[in-house]
Amino acid sequence: MTHISVPLSDDVRRLAEIAAEESGLPLDQFVSLCIARTVTKRSDDPMFANITAYEGDAPTDMAENHDEYLYGEDA
């Protein structure tokens, strides 16, 4: 297990301590759980997945005319 030090504002630490107490966890376990949930949620998000958004040759003017490609000619 790796240990890290993270500076927190007094307000954030106080809120984290309250939330940890309400969840019945020690502060270090609560913070670790919050980080684990955040990075797991992010890895499940297609926005951050390594997926192909467009297959084939892209038009050479796609960046310049992206509204037209996304919303049609009347955009």
The CA distance from 11 to 18, in Å, is: 11
Residues 9-52 have pLDDT tens digits of 999 999 999 999 999 999 999 999 999 988 877 666 666 666 66
The CA distance from 2 to 74, in Å, is: 54
The CA distance from 75 to 3, in Å, is: 52
Q: What is the pTM of this model?
A: 0.54
The two three-digit tokens of residue 70, written as one number: 């996304």
Domain parsing of the chain, residue ranges: 8-52
